[in-house]
């Protein structure tokens, strides 16, 4: 077992000032396009798929070890690691407790145990192995990314709209001849 005692309030880093529970998924909004995700591990710590040293933080000026790129990494350099929640906050944007798939079949302790077993694992892919996939796998036993799903749906709708517009332009163009 591990200690969950923490001398300080994590609530100051959470929207609405609520203390997260062990195993909660925390969403860190990075932009209107994406969020970073982590599992709350107690003692003010989170476990997440992330990385540093990719040079992006120097460009973005984020001033944080965790950079504002999708889950902190480009390419395949990300790893699962534990950090204090304050080191994951970028530009003062608070985290949100977001267990969007509902109640887990595991206790908070079990979710954190599962996540701790993954610390050091290397690998990242924005479509099938990102920080959100990691969190849903640890909490629910299935890797899922709502933001990837939403983006794919948006791209499909945009593509269909463009193709529809081209087809309509051709039909209307042929009527003029």
Burial of 46 (0-12, 13-18, 19+ CB in 10 A): buried
Catalytic member of 7, 71, 84, 131: 131
The 3-state DSSP class for residue 10 equals coil
For the stretch 73-100, pLDDT in tens is 455 578 999 999 999 999 889 999 999 9
CATH topology of domain 11-142: endopeptidase fold (from Nostoc punctiforme) (3.90.1720)
The pLDDT score that the predictor gives to residue 61 is 39
Q: In the prediction, which pLDDT does 161 show?
A: 61
Q: 48 an active-site residue?
A: yes
Whether pTM exceeds 0.75: no
Active site residue 36: yes
Asked if residue 26 lies in contact with residue 138, where contact means CB atoms within 8 angstroms, the answer is no
Q: Are 95 and 84 in contact (CB under 8 A)?
A: no
What is d(CA 151, CA 145) in angstroms, rounded to the nearest whole number?
A: 10
| pLDDT, tens only, 11-67 | 999 999 999 999 999 999 988 878 999 999 999 999 999 875 333 343 343 444 444
Instruction: Specify which residues 95 forms β-bridges with.
Output: 14
* Annotated active-site residue in 48, 71, 133, 135: 48
User: Number of C-alpha atoms within 13 angstroms, CB side, residue 18?
Assistant: 12
Domain ranges of the chain: 11-142, 145-177
Six token digits for residue 6: 């923490």
Closest by CA to 28, choosing from 19, 15, 18, 41, is 15
């Amino acid at each position: 077992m591990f200690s969950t005692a923490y001398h300080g309030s994590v609530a100051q880093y959470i929207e609405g000032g609520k203390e997260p529970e062990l195993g909660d998924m925390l969403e860190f909004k990075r932009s209107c396009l994406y969020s970073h995700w982590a599992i709350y591990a107690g003692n003010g710590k989170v476990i997440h798929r992330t990385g540093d040293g990719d040079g992006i933080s120097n460009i973005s000026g984020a001033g944080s070890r965790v950079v504002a790129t999708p889950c902190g990494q480009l390419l395949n350099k990300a790893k699962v690691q534990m950090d204090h929640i304050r080191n994951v906050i970028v530009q003062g944007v608070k985290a949100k407790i977001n267990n969007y798939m509902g109640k887990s079949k595991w206790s908070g302790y079990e979710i954190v145990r599962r996540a701790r077993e993954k610390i050091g694992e290397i690998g990242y892919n924005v479509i099938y192995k990102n920080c959100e996939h990691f969190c849903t796998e640890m909490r629910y036993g299935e890797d899922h990314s709502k933001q990837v799903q939403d983006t794919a749906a948006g791209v499909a709708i945009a593509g269909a709209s463009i193709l529809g517009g081209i087809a309509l332009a051709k039909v209307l163009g042929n009527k003029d001849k």
